[in-house]
Amino acid sequence: MHQFAYKGGVLHAEDVSLDALASEVGTPFYCYSTATLERHYKVFADAFSGADVLVCYSIKANSNIAVLRTLGELGSGMDVVSEGELRRARAAGVPPERIVFSGVGKTREEMAYALNEGIYAFNVESEPELAALNEVAHGLGVKARVALRVNPDIDPKTHRKISTGKAEDKFGVPFDRARALYKEAAGMQGVETCGIHMHIGSQITDLKPFGDAFTLLRALAGQLKEDGIKLEFINFGGGLGVPYRGSNDVPPHPDEYATVVLDAAEELNCKLLFEPGRMIAANAGILVTRVLYVKEGANKTFTVVDAAMNDLIRPTLYEAYHDIWPVRESLRAEPPQKTDVVGPVCETGDYLALDRDLPPFGEADLMAVMTAGAYGAVQSSTYNTRLLIPEVLVKGGHYAVVRPRPDYDELIGGEKIPDWF
Ligand code: LLP
User: Which atom of ligand 1 is found nearest the CA of 374?
Assistant: 24
User: Does position 181 have pLDDT exceeding 90, yes or no?
Assistant: yes
What pLDDT score does 139 carry?
Answer: 98
Averaged confidence pLDDT in the chain:
96
Ligand 1: residues within 6 Å at CB? 58, 60-61, 79, 102, 162, 164, 199, 202-203, 237-240, 275-279, 314, 318, 375
Mean predicted confidence (pLDDT) in 180-189: 96
C-alpha of residue 337 to centroid of ligand 1, in Å: 34
Contact between 71 and 280 under an 8 Å Cβ cutoff? The reply is: yes
User: Which atom of ligand 1 is found nearest the CA of 81?
Assistant: 3
The tens digit of pLDDT for each residue in 304-352 reads: 999 999 999 999 999 999 999 999 999 999 999 999 999 999 999 999 9
User: What percent of the chain clears pLDDT 90, i.e. is strictly above it?
Assistant: 92
Lowest mean pLDDT among 111-115, 175-179, 406-410: 175-179
C-alpha of residue 198 to centroid of ligand 1, in Å: 12
C-alpha of residue 339 to centroid of ligand 1, in Å: 30
User: Which atom of ligand 1 is found nearest the CA of 204?
Assistant: 15
The tens digit of pLDDT for each residue in 270-304 reads: 999 999 999 999 999 999 999 999 999 999 999 99
Contact between 316 and 405 under an 8 Å Cβ cutoff? The reply is: no
What pLDDT score does 278 carry?
Answer: 98
Residue closest by Cα to atom 16 of ligand 1:
375
CA–CA dist 102, 80 (Å, integer): 6
User: Does position 249 have pLDDT exceeding 90, yes or no?
Assistant: no
What pLDDT score does 168 carry?
Answer: 83
C-alpha of residue 36 to centroid of ligand 1, in Å: 19
Residue closest by Cα to atom 8 of ligand 1:
238
Q: What are phi and psi of 292, to 5 degrees?
A: -90, -50
The pLDDT-based confidence of 267 (bands split at 50, 70, 90) is confident
User: What percent of the chain clears pLDDT 70, i.e. is strictly above it?
Assistant: 100
CA–CA dist 27, 387 (Å, integer): 11
User: Does position 159 have pLDDT exceeding 90, yes or no?
Assistant: no
Contact between 62 and 376 under an 8 Å Cβ cutoff? The reply is: yes
CA 240 to chain centre: 11
User: Which atom of ligand 1 is found nearest the CA of 314?
Assistant: 24
The pLDDT-based confidence of 165 (bands split at 50, 70, 90) is confident
Side chain identity, residue 94: V
In CATH terms, the fold of domain 103-274 is TIM Barrel (3.20.20)
Residue closest by Cα to atom 19 of ligand 1:
162
User: Which atom of ligand 1 is found nearest the CA of 320?
Assistant: 25
- Pocket probe for ligand 1: among 202, 236, 319, 322, the residue whose CB has the most ligand atoms within 8 Å is 202
Fold match flag (4-31+282-413 vs 103-274): no
- Pocket probe for ligand 1: among 58, 63, 79, 82, the residue whose CB has the most ligand atoms within 8 Å is 58
CA–CA dist 90, 78 (Å, integer): 10
Give catalytic residues, as residue numbers.
Answer: 346
Contact between 215 and 264 under an 8 Å Cβ cutoff? The reply is: yes
- Is the C-alpha dihedral spanning 164, 170, 176, 182 positive or negative? negative
The closest of 69, 35, 37, 72 to 55, measured between CA atoms, is 72
C-alpha of residue 333 to centroid of ligand 1, in Å: 37
CA–CA dist 307, 288 (Å, integer): 8
What pLDDT score does 171 carry?
Answer: 87
What pLDDT score does 148 carry?
Answer: 97
Domain ranges of the chain: 4-31+282-413, 103-274
Residue closest by Cα to atom 5 of ligand 1:
199
CA–CA dist 417, 274 (Å, integer): 48
In CATH terms, the fold of domain 4-31+282-413 is Lyase, Ornithine Decarboxylase; Chain A, domain 1 (2.40.37)
C-alpha of residue 378 to centroid of ligand 1, in Å: 12
User: Does position 248 have pLDDT exceeding 80, yes or no?
Assistant: no
DSSP at 275:
-
Instruction: Enumerate long-range contacts of 134-139, CB under 8 Å, 24 or more apart.
Output: 134/185, 134/188, 134/189, 134/190, 134/191, 135/108, 135/190, 136/108, 136/111, 136/112, 136/190, 137/111, 137/190, 137/191, 138/188, 138/189, 138/190, 139/190
